[in-house]
């Protein structure tokens, strides 16, 4: 039997009612579904729905009992939990996120341009590895994170710029029905080009929330998000458990009511997938530092990082 996309299957499981509120482009993507009969039920005839801005909040670095884990999962929005494989609580964190109704993706450790191998954790994807070893590690990572419907990169400024390496990783994603979220730790990422060419559903990070671990900075990034949603219908932001975990979860919790007031609708990452229209152009510079995710979960920000304080 032909294997469908796993995210699609999960949405299918949850039924048509839920899909009524999903953006039209996503409904196009789910063309195998029966048309939801209640699609227009929420909007009286002749009246336009208020313009909605969809935002997916991805939280990286789950899997190692990191600071802020419980607080992030308690946020009253559908965050997506990016769980690192092969760590002491990889499976427990993925299960807890899933039990809390949160989407789970694999947070694949990948080689950065700068940094120590120890920051990456076990079985990272390194550019010196053979195609076969990259395939084995990617498959093992997926197997180690239950309920994963997608994948994004932890660090990876060197690996995501390497076409040979990314071709293998994306091929495994394709075979397993996982979408890929480019965390965009490198401006030289080949992921957009390859994903298009290979037909792998792709999303891209638009904003790191916590590249500096202070309330002031995270609050400022949330203001950038607020400004961004006025111009963009779909936005992906990434925050972290670990050193900034309590700051970021606190700032998010405080900002959610105002963001909703500004017509932001928080969605799971997979709800932003639209194979026909990539929502974000590759290569644009991210606000703030792109090297935020280039450190070990729980470690200090590496000395080389321009974000270190």
Residues forming the site for Zn ion (CB under 5 A): 60-61, 154, 293
Letter string b/e over residues 125-138, b meaning 16 or more CB atoms within 10 A of that residue's CB = bbeebeeeebbebb
- Taking the complex as a whole, the smallest distance from the CB of residue 133 to Zn ion amounts, in Å, to 21
- Residue 120 or 194 with smaller CB distance to Zn ion: 120
Q: How far is CA 157 from the centre of its chain?
A: 16
- Residue 61 or 271 with smaller CB distance to Zn ion: 61
- Residue 162 or 296 with smaller CB distance to Zn ion: 296
Cα→Cα distances 6→103, 144, 168, 174, Å: 12, 16, 19, 10
Cβ pair 72, 306 in contact under 8 A: no
Q: How far apart are CA 48 and CA 38, in angstroms?
A: 16
- Taking the complex as a whole, the smallest distance from the CB of residue 162 to Zn ion amounts, in Å, to 18
Of residues 247, 64, 61, 213, the one with CA closest to residue 152: 61
- Residue 111 or 229 with smaller CB distance to Zn ion: 111
- Taking the complex as a whole, the smallest distance from the CB of residue 283 to Zn ion amounts, in Å, to 22
- Taking the complex as a whole, the smallest distance from the CB of residue 292 to Zn ion amounts, in Å, to 9
The residues with which 85 forms a beta bridge, in sequence order, are none
Cα→Cα distances 103→73, 92, 95, 150, 153, Å: 11, 14, 10, 9, 16
Helix (H, G, I), strand (E, B) or coil at 107: strand
3-state helix, strand, coil in the chain (%, to 5): 35, 15, 50
Angle separating helix axes 245-261 and 215-228, nearest 10 degrees:
30
- Taking the complex as a whole, the smallest distance from the CB of residue 153 to Zn ion amounts, in Å, to 8
- Residue 22 or 124 with smaller CB distance to Zn ion: 124
- Residue 93 or 293 with smaller CB distance to Zn ion: 293
- Residue 110 or 229 with smaller CB distance to Zn ion: 110
Strand 207-208 relative to strand 53-62: parallel, antiparallel, unpaired?
unpaired
- Taking the complex as a whole, the smallest distance from the CB of residue 159 to Zn ion amounts, in Å, to 13
- Taking the complex as a whole, the smallest distance from the CB of residue 150 to Zn ion amounts, in Å, to 15
């Amino acid at each position: 039997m032909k294997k469908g996309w796993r995210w699609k299957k999960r949405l299918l499981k949850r039924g048509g009612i839920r899909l009524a509120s999903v953006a039209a482009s996503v409904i196009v993507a789910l063309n195998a579904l029966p048309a939801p009969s209640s699609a227009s039920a929420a909007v009286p005839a002749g009246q336009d729905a208020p313009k909605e801005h969809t935002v997916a909040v991805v939280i990286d670095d789950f899997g190692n009992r990191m600071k802020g884990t419980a607080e992030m999962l308690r946020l009253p929005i559908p965050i997506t939990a990016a769980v690192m494989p092969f760590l002491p609580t990889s499976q427990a964190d993925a299960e807890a996120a899933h039990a809390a109704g949160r989407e789970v993706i694999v947070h694949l450790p990948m080689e950065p341009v700068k940094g120590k191998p120890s920051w990456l954790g076990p079985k990272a994807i390194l550019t010196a590895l053979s195609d076969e070893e990259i395939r084995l590690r990617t498959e093992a990572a997926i197997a180690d994170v239950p309920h994963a419907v997608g994948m994004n990169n932890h660090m990876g400024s060197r690996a995501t710029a390497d076409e040979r390496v990314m071709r293998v990783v994306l091929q495994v994603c394709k075979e397993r029905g996982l979408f890929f979220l480019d965390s965009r730790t490198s401006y030289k990422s080949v992921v957009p080009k390859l994903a298009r060419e290979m037909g792998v559903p792709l999303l891209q990070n638009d904003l790191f929330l916590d590249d500096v671990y202070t309330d002031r900075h995270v609050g400022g990034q949330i203001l950038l998000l607020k400004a961004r949603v006025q111009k963009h219908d779909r936005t992906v932001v990434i925050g972290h458990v670990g050193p900034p975990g309590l700051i970021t979860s606190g700032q998010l919790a405080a900002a959610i009511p105002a963001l909703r007031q500004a017509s932001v609708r928080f969605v799971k990452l997979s709800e932003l997938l639209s194979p026909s229209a990539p929502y974000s152009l590759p290569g644009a510079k991210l606000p703030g530092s792109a090297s935020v995710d280039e450190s070990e979960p729980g470690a200090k920000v590496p000395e080389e990082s321009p974000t270190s304080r």
